[in-house]
Amino acid sequence: MIRELLAGSLYGWIGTISLLLFFTAFVAITLRTMFASKKKMDDQADIPLSDGERSDDDDRN
């Protein structure tokens, strides 16, 4: 029933666009993770263990 309803509509491209958006986000997150520095990963891994106070050695601008 839904196939018959969607067969006559122009919404078939939504599935393609959503798949492309997912793939683009997946590749971007994977590349960012692969090329992140070890120090940045270690700092982020320590976030759950911190007491909420930031140290002075943060390299944020």
Residues 58, 39: Cα–Cα separation, whole Å: 11
Alpha-carbon gap, residue 27 to 43, rounded angstroms: 23
Contacts of 12 (CB under 8 A, 6+ apart): 6
Closest C-alpha to 42, from 55, 31, 30: 55
pTM of the predicted model as reported, rounded to 2 decimal places: 0.57
The pLDDT value given to residue 61? 45
Tell me the average pLDDT across 23-52: 91
Q: How far is CA 10 from CA 5, 6, 13, in A?
A: 11, 8, 7
* pLDDT tier, 2 (very low <50, low <70, confident <90, very high otherwise): confident
